[in-house]
């Protein structure tokens, strides 16, 4: 069968969802540290103190009022503070991954662990030390690190005082931070991703309900600065070590028209342009797509783009295209009877698909469709760097966890990758999301679990943090051992 012999099997987490230790060894806070826990029906909140000294909260991804300051408040639970304490359990976690036969482990570097406010001239030594130890531990076990430089966690100081990515000055601070990463971890890390799910900023506009032209302006500007920052990071990474392979990371959703009404077909094409190609084209081809002008014009967007920016975008194209894939979505111009959401997208319900307890559609064929579409467009190596099922797990009296539903999710997705490879797609790696249970990004829950490795920890932060193997652990081990041929 199809998988190349050096295929990079593995799993993925992100610093803020795995490490915890939010204020340990000099780390500064990030926005995830002022974000409360939520559920599938209740949002996560960002907490603050307003200009008159009163505590308050806004929905995750919302804006805090003028003059307010982000704050950790009593009476709220902030699940990312301790997460699953990967910071202190990394040796044990890496050993379990090695037992499954991982070839690759994806995690992110927490910017505020290296630069607590983002403004320091020199990095925090203890932060550098932690990542050096982690990457060395992985190497010792024959596991390649795949490192995301930004996973939604700009230092809170930058967010509060500079306006995050709405400010061009953030680019230079990011450049300082990534230069440290490429320099300090040279030889230990060869595979890098710049911005996690960079297109979330566009998807988020759709989720806002009624975005104003100002919202569009802000979002597209924010993205432009991230594109420039990403392109600079690629150039710096290559200059420091020419063997570095640096990728973009897109939230991959396969969009389908809900009907064969030509208006739906056209709307679907536009959904691909706006949600998927807009970012991929800039990062892989080094220039905005032909449709970008239309998107800007629709909302009177006027971007601050310099000649130097355009030259940077051209010079800083990525070496590989990586993406997360959880589901597909339907687009329609007709009235929608039953709406479904998930992973920053919403659309009509697809009667051919099954939905998870969190309302995410399972669609393995959509993964094959995505792989073939994207490879044909860019013809550079691809990696699926997130894929998986968030589900409730039950621990039996003897400690075992029978998560056959998770295996049933993975099997057809691995088959879909294999089909795409047979059809000529250059797919080089696969890291399942949350290979060890972590805090959910969308809901802040622990009970929305993705792992092969279970962590004894609940939504309120109670638990021993003990790790154990689910049935899927043994299954995935066989998948890797057989290089994707043993899927039963």
* Pick 174 or 433: Cβ nearer ligand P53: 433
Of 77-85, 96-104, 276-284, 438-446, the window that binds ligand P53 (rule: CB under 6 A) is 438-446
Rounded to 5 degrees, what are φ and ψ at 94? -65, -40
Active-site residue flag, 197:
yes
* Pick 79 or 286: Cβ nearer ligand P53: 79
**One residue of 292, 367, 441, 446 binding ligand P53 per CB under 6 A:** 441
* Pick 124 or 191: Cβ nearer ligand P53: 191
459 binds ligand P53 (CB under 6 A): no
Q: Per CB under 6 A, which of residues 98..117 are in contact with ligand P53? A: none
* Pick 108 or 415: Cβ nearer ligand P53: 108
* Pick 108 or 418: Cβ nearer ligand P53: 108
Over the window 186 to 225, marking each residue x when it contacts ligand P53 by CB under 6 A and - when it does not, the resulting string is ----------xx----------------------------
Of 201-209, 270-278, 368-376, 434-442, the window that binds ligand P53 (rule: CB under 6 A) is 434-442
Q: Which residue minimizes CB distance to ligand P53?
A: 442
Q: HEC states along the chain?
A: CCCCCCCEEEEECCHHHHCCCCCCCCCCCEHHHHECCCCCCCCCEEEEECCCCCEEEEECCCCCCCCCEECCCCCCCCCCCCCCCHHHHHHHHHHHHHHHCCCEEEEECCHHHHCCCCCCCCCCHHHHHHHHHHHHHHHHCCCEEEEEEECCCCEHHHHHHHCHHHCCHHHHHHHHHHHHHHHHCECCECEEEEECCCCHHHHHHHHCCCCCHHHHHHHHHHHHHHHHHHHHHHHHHHHHCCCCEEEEEEEEEEEEECCCCHHHHHHHHHHHHHHHHHHHHHHHHCCCCCCHHHHHHHCCCCCCCCHHHHHHHHHCCCCEEEEEEEEEEEECCCCCCCEEEECCEEEECCCCCEECCCCCEECHHHHHHHHHHHHHHHCCCEEEEECCCCECCCCCCCCCCCCHHHHHHHHHHHHHHHHHHHCCCCEEEEEEECCECCCCCCCCCCCCECCCEEECCCCCCCCCCCEEECHHHHHHHHHHHCCCCCCC
* Pick 14 or 128: Cβ nearer ligand P53: 14
Q: Which of 19, 137, 386, 445 is catalytic?
A: 386
Q: Per CB under 6 A, which of residues 121..140 are in contact with ligand P53? A: none
CB of 204 to ligand P53, least distance (A): 9
Q: Which of 137, 144, 197, 445 is catalytic?
A: 197
Active-site residue flag, 396:
no
User: Counting beta carbons within 10 angstroms of the beta carbon of residue 404, is it exposed (0 to 12), middle (13 to 18) or buried (19 or more)?
Assistant: exposed
Of 306-314, 409-417, 436-444, 474-482, the window that binds ligand P53 (rule: CB under 6 A) is 436-444
CB of 357 to ligand P53, least distance (A): 11
**One residue of 106, 448, 449, 467 binding ligand P53 per CB under 6 A:** 448
Q: Which of 451, 452, 423 is nearest to 439 (CA)?
A: 451
CB of 38 to ligand P53, least distance (A): 10
Counting residues that bind ligand P53 (by CB under 6 A) gives 15
Of 114-122, 278-286, 307-315, 439-447, the window that binds ligand P53 (rule: CB under 6 A) is 439-447
433 binds ligand P53 (CB under 6 A): yes
Residue 162, both tokens: 């500079």
Of 69-77, 207-215, 275-283, 441-449, the window that binds ligand P53 (rule: CB under 6 A) is 441-449
Q: What CA dihedral angle connects 442, 446, 450 and 454, to 10 degrees? A: 160
Say how many residues make up the chain. 488
CB of 463 to ligand P53, least distance (A): 18
**One residue of 280, 390, 429, 451 binding ligand P53 per CB under 6 A:** 390
* Pick 203 or 350: Cβ nearer ligand P53: 203
Over the window 298 to 337, marking each residue x when it contacts ligand P53 by CB under 6 A and - when it does not, the resulting string is --------------------------x-------------
Q: Per CB under 6 A, which of residues 27..56 are in contact with ligand P53? A: none
Q: Are 379 and 424 in contact (CB under 8 A)?
A: no
Q: Per CB under 6 A, which of residues 64..83 are in contact with ligand P53? A: none
86 binds ligand P53 (CB under 6 A): no
**One residue of 14, 97, 236, 320 binding ligand P53 per CB under 6 A:** 14
Q: Per CB under 6 A, which of residues 334..353 are in contact with ligand P53? A: 343-344
Sheet holding 55-59, edge to edge: 55-59, 45-49, 69-70
Cβ atoms within 10 Å of 373's Cβ, excluding its own: 17
Which sequence positions are flagged as catalytic? 197, 386
* Residue numbers at the binding site for ligand P53 (CB under 6 A): 14, 17, 196-197, 324, 343-344, 386, 390, 433, 440-443, 448
């Amino acid at each position: 069968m199809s998988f190349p012999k050096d295929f990079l099997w593995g799993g993925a987490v992100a610093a803020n969802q795995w490490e915890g230790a939010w204020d340990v060894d000099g780390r500064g806070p990030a926005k995830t540290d002022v974000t409360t826990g939520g559920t599938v029906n209740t949002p996560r909140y960002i907490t603050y103190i307003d200009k008159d000294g009163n505590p308050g909260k806004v929905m995750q991804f919302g804006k805090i009022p003028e003059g307010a300051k982000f704050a950790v408040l009593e009476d709220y639970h902030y699940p990312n503070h301790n997460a699953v304490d990967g910071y202190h359990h990394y040796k044990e976690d890496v050993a379990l991954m090695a037992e499954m036969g991982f070839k690759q482990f994806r995690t992110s570097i927490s910017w505020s662990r290296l630069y607590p406010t983002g403004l320091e001239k020199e990095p925090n030594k203890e932060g550098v030390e932690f990542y050096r130890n982690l990457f060395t531990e992985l190497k010792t076990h024959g596991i390649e690190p795949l490192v995301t430089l930004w996973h939604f966690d700009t230092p809170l100081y930058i967010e509060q005082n500079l306006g995050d990515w709405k400010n061009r000055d953030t680019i230079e601070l990011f450049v300082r931070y990534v230069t440290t990463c490429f320099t300090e971890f040279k030889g230990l890390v060869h595979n890098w991703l710049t911005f996690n799910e960079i297109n979330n900023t566009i998807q988020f506009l759709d989720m806002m309900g009624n975005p104003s032209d100002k919202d569009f302006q802000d979002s597209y500007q924010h993205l432009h600065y991230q594109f420039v920052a990403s392109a600079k990071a690629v150039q710096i990474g290559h200059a420091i070590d020419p063997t570095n392979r640096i990728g973009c990371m897109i939230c991959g959703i396969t969009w389908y028209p809900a009907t064969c009404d030509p208006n739906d077909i056209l709307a679907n094409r536009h959904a691909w342009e706006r949600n998927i190609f807009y970012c991929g084209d800039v990062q892989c081809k080094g220039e905005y797509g032909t449709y970008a002008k239309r998107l800007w014009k629709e909302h009177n967007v006027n971007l601050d783009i310099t000649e130097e920016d355009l030259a940077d975008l051209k010079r800083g194209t990525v070496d590989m295209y990586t993406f997360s894939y959880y589901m597909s979505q339907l687009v329609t111009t007709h009235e929608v009877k039953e709406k479904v959401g998930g992973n920053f997208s919403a659309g009509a319900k697809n009667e051919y698909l099954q939905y998870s307890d969190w309302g995410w559609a399972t669609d393995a064929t959509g993964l094959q469709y995505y792989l073939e579409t994207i490879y044909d467009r860019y013809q550079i190596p691809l990696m699926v760097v997130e894929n998986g099922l968030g589900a409730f797990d039950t621990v039996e009296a003897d400690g075992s966890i029978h998560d056959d539903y998770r295996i049933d999710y993975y099997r057809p997705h691995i088959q879909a990758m294999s089909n795409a490879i047979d059809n000529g797609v250059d797919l080089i790696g696969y890291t399942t999301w949350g290979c060890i249970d972590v805090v959910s990004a969308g809901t802040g829950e622990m009970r929305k679990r993705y792992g092969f490795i279970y962590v004894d920890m609940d939504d309120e932060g109670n638990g021993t943090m003990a790790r154990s193997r689910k049935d899927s652990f043994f299954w995935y081990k066989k998948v890797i051992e057989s290089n994707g041929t043993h899927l039963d």
